[in-house]
Amino acid sequence: MALDDGAIGRGIAPAGASRGAREAVDARDGGERLGGFDVRGAVDTVLTRVAPRLAAVELDTPLAADRVLLELDDSPTKSAIGGNVSVATSIACAQAFAISAGLPLWRVLSGDAPVSVPLPEVQIFGGGAHAGRRIDIQDLMVIARSAQSVEQALEMTAEVYLAAGRLMAERGALAGVADEGGFWPAFSTNEEAIEMLLRAIEAAGYVPGDEVAISLDIAASELRTDHGYRLALESRSIDSAAMCALLGGWLDRYPICSIEDPLAEDDIEGMRRFTRAFGKRVQIVGDDFLVTNAAFVEAAALQGACNAVLVKPNQAGTLSEALDALTTARRMRWSTIVSARSGETEDTTICDLAIGWNARQLKVGSITRGERTAKWNALIRAEQALGAAAFADGGWLPVSTRRG
């Protein structure tokens, strides 16, 4: 996106391997070439349909281009122009506005409102759709609850990551990394993976729970079949109530502070049951379940399902719609987590969104791979500009094993 004053903004659309059924759908060429994933058609849409409309627009606010994008396609799944067309354009225009203003994007997004440098949620083991379904759980992550700066949180996380690598090597189980840079999960049960994560936290010298807590993304929609939830490692399927009980057992035994998509996107009753049972003991995050949609967030909150939202701009299709989902969640007194995708790029705009919109947490995958470190480095730079006082520490996050 080039403005009249010469400012140029860029935006890149990410992609996800484990997608929600109701999220914005990317425009892809299909056919034989590049497995059907090429985006020449999407680029053509940008040049022939979006650009001429934008040329006539006065970019008077960072998200002003979204009005045009929504006029072209206001469907929730962006079926007319494609979610990738929409989100990349939305990001490029916001970045162009910030460059023209000579300010970081987070600053123009926040205006005079408070900002915070979000708490990192970092993957140590990848699983599910991100690791050939080697284990059922998709993400085994840590949150440095006691850290007082993003720099300290990342250092503590890196110590846990290194310890996990040492423990895996001792067992002869070190086999590279998964999609988001976490270690490949060479385990024979799901619980063995959680157990190993706990041992890595201890081996790194931290108190599990108090200092470094466990965070899981079950991505349960991926396990859903006609016969309930399929646990491939255990060669069995269980119903929704049994799934709640299984996860509840983990919450009892392990110091878990956050659990994402514990039930499937179409299992609203299960999500309500789980939230009723465990909502005071742990953060319950809706990802596929809510697909960054303000109306779904509001409905879930009113029905007592989940207590936190994952905000992925490309699920919504524009930054304005992503902001809408985030502010709706905040209005319902939920916590908010801005998130990257498994098919991520070097674009660091999500860091600006998390800071400028005052989200408390950021989920980006692991601390390896350049598309991930680009985000953590952007956070560190923001913290250097804002000071550690702006850091959103995780001391408030409940830990599942603590009573009362």
CA distance 122 to 106: 22
Binder of ligand PGA out of 73, 159, 267, 287 (CB under 6 A)? 287
Verify whether residue 180 is a known catalytic residue.
yes
Do the beta carbons of residue 69 and residue 50 sit within 8 Å?
Answer: yes
- Nearest to ligand PGA of 240, 339 (CB atom): 339
- Nearest to ligand PGA of 17, 380 (CB atom): 17
| Cβ atoms within 10 Å, residue 61 | 16
User: Minimum distance from CB of 126 to ligand PGA (Å)?
Assistant: 10
- Nearest to Zn ion of 45, 314 (CB atom): 314
What is the DSSP annotation of 24-73? Answer: PPPP---SSGGGGT--HHHHHHIIIIIHHHHHT----STTTHHHHHHHH-
Handedness of CA 197, 192, 209, 136 (dihedral sign): positive
Do the beta carbons of residue 259 and residue 265 sit within 8 Å?
Answer: no
Return the residue nearest Zn ion (CB atom): 287
Residue 136 touching Zn ion (CB under 5 A): no
| Cβ atoms within 10 Å, residue 232 | 14
CA distance 282 to 290: 18
Residue 347 touching Zn ion (CB under 5 A): no
Residue 217 touching ligand PGA (CB under 6 A): yes
Q: Of these partners, Zn ion, ligand PGA, none, which one is at the site of residue 372 (CB under 5 to 8 Å by kind)?
A: none
User: Considering only residues 138-167, where is the footprint of ligand PGA by CB under 6 A?
Assistant: 138
Residue 371 touching Zn ion (CB under 5 A): no
CA distance 253 to 317: 39
The residues with which 321 forms a beta bridge, in sequence order, are: none
Please tell me which residue in 23, 180, 260, 265 is annotated as part of the active site: 180
Closest CA to 153 of 394, 397, 327: 394
Q: Of these partners, Zn ion, ligand PGA, none, which one is at the site of residue 339 (CB under 5 to 8 Å by kind)?
A: ligand PGA
Residue 342 touching ligand PGA (CB under 6 A): yes
User: Minimum distance from CB of 310 to ligand PGA (Å)?
Assistant: 6
Q: Which strands form 228-231's sheet, in the order they lie side by side?
A: 224-225, 228-231, 236-238
Closest CA to 194 of 135, 115, 261, 279: 135
User: Minimum distance from CB of 270 to ligand PGA (Å)?
Assistant: 18
Binder of Zn ion out of 26, 191, 287, 352 (CB under 5 A)? 287
- State the Rg of the chain over Cα: 21
User: Considering only residues 204-223, where is the footprint of Zn ion by CB under 5 A?
Assistant: 217
Residue 78 touching ligand PGA (CB under 6 A): no
User: Minimum distance from CB of 47 to ligand PGA (Å)?
Assistant: 27
- Nearest to ligand PGA of 217, 347 (CB atom): 217
CA distance 65 to 316: 15
Q: Give the total of residues touching ligand PGA (CB under 6 A).
A: 11
339 membership: H or E segment, kind and range: strand 335-339
Residue 17 touching ligand PGA (CB under 6 A): yes
Residue 159 touching Zn ion (CB under 5 A): no
> Which residues here bind ligand PGA, judged by CB under 6 A?
16-19, 138, 217, 219, 287, 339, 341-342
Q: Which residues are catalytic?
A: 180, 312
> Which residues here bind Zn ion, judged by CB under 5 A?
217, 260, 287
